[in-house]
Structure 1
Amino acid sequence: MGQKIRKCKNCGRYTLREFCPVCGGEAFSAHPARFSPKDPYGRYRRLAKKG
């Protein structure tokens, strides 16, 4: 089983498909990005998250 679990953006349900079988919304990866202390773009990602 090489698939990773995904979470629907609309209803919040978990699935293995790219689109939610219940509401038809797009599903994204439920796992956070891998952490690295040497991340060259981490500063920019945190600034974008703040707004």
Structure 2
Amino acid sequence: MGWLLRKCVKCGKYTLNKEKCPYCGGNVKIPHPAKFSPDDKYVKYKRMLLREAEEDEKNNN
């Protein structure tokens, strides 16, 4: 069973809708963190994406 809960990026409210937020119409994403494994082969790429997302968020605000 997959993740059902979604969180709106724009207003921060939670919803079960997978396409968009029913309150503000913003994009929704899965609020759960990725699974952790100490032997993760892709940790380098995940960190790069995280840093990139943080920089984009800073630039957009």
Task: Give runs of ≥4 in structure 1 deviating > 2 Å.
Answer: 47-51
Higher helix share: 2
Work out the number of aligned pairs and report it. Answer: 51
Structure 1 gap segments, 5+ residues each: none
Q: Given the two structures, how large is their TM-score scaled by the length of structure 2?
A: 0.68
Deviation at 1:3, TM superposition (A): 5.0
Paired-residue identity, %: 49
Instruction: Give secondary structure in 1 for the equivalent of 2:32.
Output: coil
> How far apart, CA to CA, are the structure 2 residues paired with 1:3 and 1:42?
22
Relative contact order higher in (CA < 8 Å, ≥ 6 apart): 1
Shift of 1:30: 0.9
Q: Name the structure where strand makes up a greater proportion of residues.
A: 1
- Contact 1:7/1:30, CA 8 A, preserved across alignment: yes
Instruction: Say if 1:32 and 1:2 are closer, same or farther in 2 by CA, change over 3 A.
Output: closer
